[in-house]
Amino acid sequence: MMAGTASAADLEAGKARAATACAVCHGPVGLSMQPNVPHLAGQPLFYLTEQLRNYRSGKRANEVMSVIAKPLTDAEIDNLALWYSSLQVRVEAP
């Protein structure tokens, strides 16, 4: 996924999976309202993919994320990473 281009189906699959598995903690568009949960929107594709795979393998541990990531397939991880990396975050200086 990271080397090639993604199809709309992959993006939509990532969006759908995020709505069921991630939105409670990370927000519906990847912007968390919880102080101890990071924003996912706009994060680099490579970073998101790597971290989800690390949670799945146990290389990175978190009480919640380790459980959430464990059953994810490579395709689901790629789709989730694609969805969150496709979201654009704008920053405005005061």
Q: Which residue has the tokens 């519906």?
A: 28
66 pLDDT higher than 80: yes
Distance between CA atoms of residues 38 and 71, nearest Å: 21
Section 33-57 average pLDDT: 96
Q: Confidence band (pLDDT; 50, 70, 90) for 8?
A: low
Section 50-78 average pLDDT: 97
Q: CA dihedral defined by 53, 58, 64, 70, rounded to 10 degrees?
A: 60
1 pLDDT higher than 50: no
